[in-house]
Structure 1
């Protein structure tokens, strides 16, 4: 059936009006999509009564812990908790798939599979304390769907995760098990009956198959998690950068901070959580603006100003600087093509017969001198 056309006088052979195709191709762009999606998320967060999701995340106090961040590399955890700028592209697609899988597939399945007299609640909020010696730590977060009684009392918790496939899984991943244990610990202390059982449900993003593991609260495993929390708190209270010691072999490969940490092929290592890497251009636009919005004194490095010139006027740009003679130059002073392997030569040093390249300020100098 041909499309319904309300203009009965139209000529089917009439060409598309001049400029129409250009207008469409100019309107549909990757950057335009990103802006549309971000605005859509802002509207949804406001609709859900969660305006705090629309701004940069606050830095976590040393004694505050989030269940989803437990039992990871201590250095990676510090970077994430202190809002270090993430490298690469934020995996919004994976987050969206995980949320959609939970809401549109697993929750309806749980509602149909749960025995009579029990119901599904989307989540329960936890706020609990854990004391180690003289240190009191706080656990705050929200569970995944919970099987509850008609009175809303929790019977069994769930933790829902998506992964590429589920065929290789023979047991739950330790950090997911730690997350579930945190919820069990908190709720068990809140209710006057034992809350000790949970299900970790993995779903395949390729096939939608699931694998389910039943988990019972294990005091020995929980002690391992508590020890991790206490160690993380001690590092941060002491202002110490933890060692690069991943909990899992593959963590460094997929880490969003591997360049500043020193686990990548760039000349950086053991960089603290503040500041942008001087000649690194691997920050995506959204991650970069999130970092800049979270730090009033932050600016773009000259490298990033060339990569994102539209942000230069809005956020400002640090000067190029020479590590030898300390001369500085405006970010747009050089006719530079943006190739970080061929940085501009310092004019002052060139006159002295030295061919030294300029750079941006070091990360620990940026916010201080911003």
Structure 2
């Protein structure tokens, strides 16, 4: 009887595995990426910011974001000119930073810090200009939560940063101080009164701890460090000059999305301008390749990326190889794209000639 029962239920068990397999297929990294992208797309529309769903716009050279002040000039030029990123955005860190601010810090300020006559405002938009030797500089962006009075006039701005741990932090980073100074100047101009005090809040991801620093406005630091940096960065962009690879902090190179293009990676690329996918480089993540080619419809895959992502070939096309010596165009799949490809036609004649990318595509 037991054997009969087992045999009779076996077909049902086989049938029940089919929907399970379908669910397992949906529980994939690709499905998650597509869901997350659609989620962000919808969120931008809901927030009245559909422009974030289009190609990244190149900001004017005179425009600066408070969060980018005092960072590596070259890294920012690559980012501002929409160079293809060599690694995916650290979305987990960004996500935690947003959640820490919205779900923990804002309620903390609202319920445990403010009183009967003080309140918390999510953010305040600033947009102001500063005169410099490079002309008029424009700084615009949104603050983090600000403690305000009953008239919504700022009392104490905050700037929130998250790190894996706050134990080793002894003082605020200079570029975080620069960001806070930009908010203090912007709020002072907007409300026509002097704001000189702010607080930098560092939140730890590991232990959910925080550390705070009182920041007082320093006119010398603002004029001689921050404004001077912004003036220099504007001049680099106005002149169309690639800035030197000279970041203030070593960690900028370690976590930079343009290490290979800059010359800090393990390839022979050095000081490459912001345009185009790197020839012979296959380290780009799939999401970055798709985003770059969608934003630049006149460009195609390099042979190296076509070999790595063959499913993209039909949609985006591939740039062929070209030999300057014999003026021959060679199909992208006829030569091994690794290293420095050699023209096979010249090699047959005992000549060595390196290949470059052609202007057309296969």
TM-score, with length taken from structure 1:
0.89
- Change in Cα spacing, 1:20 to 1:351, as seen in structure 2 (3 Å) is same
CA RMSD of aligned residues (A): 2.3
- Change in Cα spacing, 1:312 to 1:156, as seen in structure 2 (3 Å) is same
Q: Which residue of 2 aligns with 1:8?
A: none
Partner Cα separation in structure 2 for residue 289 and residue 186 of structure 1: 37
1:144 aligns with 2:144: yes
Partner Cα separation in structure 2 for residue 259 and residue 193 of structure 1: 46
Residue 273 of structure 1 and its aligned partner are, at CA, apart by 0.8
Between 136-145 and 344-353, report the one with greater CA deviation.
344-353
Residue 123 of structure 1 and its aligned partner are, at CA, apart by 0.7
Q: Which residue of 2 aligns with 1:225?
A: 226
Structure with more helix by fraction: 2
Residue 79 of structure 1 and its aligned partner are, at CA, apart by 0.9
Partner Cα separation in structure 1 for residue 64 and residue 105 of structure 2: 27
Partner Cα separation in structure 2 for residue 51 and residue 205 of structure 1: 31
Q: Which residue of 2 aligns with 1:346?
A: 343
Partner Cα separation in structure 2 for residue 266 and residue 41 of structure 1: 34
Partner Cα separation in structure 2 for residue 46 and residue 290 of structure 1: 19
Q: Is the 8 A contact 1:67 1:141 kept in 2?
A: yes
Residue 249 of structure 1 and its aligned partner are, at CA, apart by 2.4
Q: Which residue of 1 aligns with 2:73?
A: 74
3-state secondary structure, aligned to 1:25: helix
Q: Is the 8 A contact 1:279 1:359 kept in 2?
A: no
Partner Cα separation in structure 2 for residue 74 and residue 269 of structure 1: 16
Q: Which residue of 2 aligns with 1:240?
A: 241
Pairing 1:1-370 to 2, within 5 Å after superposition: 14-17=12-15, 18-112=17-111, 113-133=113-133, 135-223=135-223, 224-322=225-323, 324-334=325-335, 340-341=338-339, 345-354=342-351, 358-360=355-357
- Change in Cα spacing, 1:108 to 1:280, as seen in structure 2 (3 Å) is same
Partner Cα separation in structure 2 for residue 81 and residue 107 of structure 1: 31
Between 47-56 and 352-361, report the one with greater CA deviation.
352-361
Between 251-260 and 285-294, report the one with greater CA deviation.
285-294
Q: Is the 8 A contact 1:235 1:241 kept in 2?
A: yes
3-state secondary structure, aligned to 2:267: coil
Between 221-230 and 108-117, report the one with greater CA deviation.
108-117
Residue 265 of structure 1 and its aligned partner are, at CA, apart by 1.4
Partner Cα separation in structure 1 for residue 354 and residue 34 of structure 2: 36
Q: Is the 8 A contact 2:129 2:137 kept in 1?
A: yes
Q: Which residue of 2 aligns with 1:4?
A: none
Residue 320 of structure 1 and its aligned partner are, at CA, apart by 2.1
- Change in Cα spacing, 1:60 to 1:24, as seen in structure 2 (3 Å) is same
3-state secondary structure, aligned to 2:266: coil
Residue 254 of structure 1 and its aligned partner are, at CA, apart by 1.6
3-state secondary structure, aligned to 1:225: helix
Q: CA offsets per residue over residues 109-131 of structure 1, 9 Å max, x none?
A: 11112222111111111110011
Q: Is the 8 A contact 2:126 2:142 kept in 1?
A: yes
Residue 210 of structure 1 and its aligned partner are, at CA, apart by 0.5
TM-score, with length taken from structure 2:
0.90
